[in-house]
């Protein structure tokens, strides 16, 4: 997948998680919040998330709200926060010196990882109807 596609890919995955979490809320007869915040939706849906999933959902929430749609947010601080969050989440630090920090991509946002999380949530939804 080319670099130009990543923000849209992340936005669409975030939107699919949002829809699925809201569906879980409805299935559990809980009001689905009018929010894009995936961690808040997971809490309302009473879905347990790992620390890694919480961090992924923080990042994907930003992708849904603005980074998948617009090149920059309305406030500079949001962009700086998103860059830092992306750097911390998407890359592993491998070595550093006093001058430079080396990082490698860790594939946290890869199809396999996000699909596994989606399947976990999908099973939670299906449990409401079996």
The partner residues of 95 in beta bridges, in order of sequence, read 102
Q: Specify the pTM.
A: 0.86
Q: Taking a C-beta distance cutoff of 8 angstroms, is the pair 124, 45 a contact? A: yes
Place of tokens 């923000």: 7
Per-residue pLDDT, 75: 87
pLDDT digits (tens, 9 = 90+) for 76-109: 898 888 889 988 999 988 887 788 888 888 999 9
CA distance 128 to 26: 10
Per-residue pLDDT, 108: 94
Per-residue pLDDT, 103: 85
4 band by pLDDT with thresholds 50, 70 and 90? low
pLDDT digits (tens, 9 = 90+) for 53-84: 999 999 999 999 888 778 788 888 988 888 89
Packing angle between helix 111-127 and helix 6-27, nearest 10 degrees?
10
């Amino acid at each position: 997948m080319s670099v130009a596609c990543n923000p849209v890919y992340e936005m669409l995955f975030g939107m699919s998680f949002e829809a699925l979490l809201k569906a879980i809320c409805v299935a559990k007869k809980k009001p689905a919040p009018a929010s894009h915040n995936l961690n808040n939706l997971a809490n309302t849906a009473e879905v347990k998330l790992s620390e890694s999933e919480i961090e992924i959902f923080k990042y994907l929430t930003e992708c849904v709200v603005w980074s998948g749609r617009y090149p920059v947010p309305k406030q500079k601080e949001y962009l700086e926060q998103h860059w830092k969050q992306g750097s911390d989440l998407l890359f592993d630090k491998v070595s550093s010196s006093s001058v430079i920090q080396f990082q490698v991509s860790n594939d946290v946002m890869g199809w396999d990882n996000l699909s596994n999380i989606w399947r976990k949530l999908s099973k939670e939804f299906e449990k409401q109807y079996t």
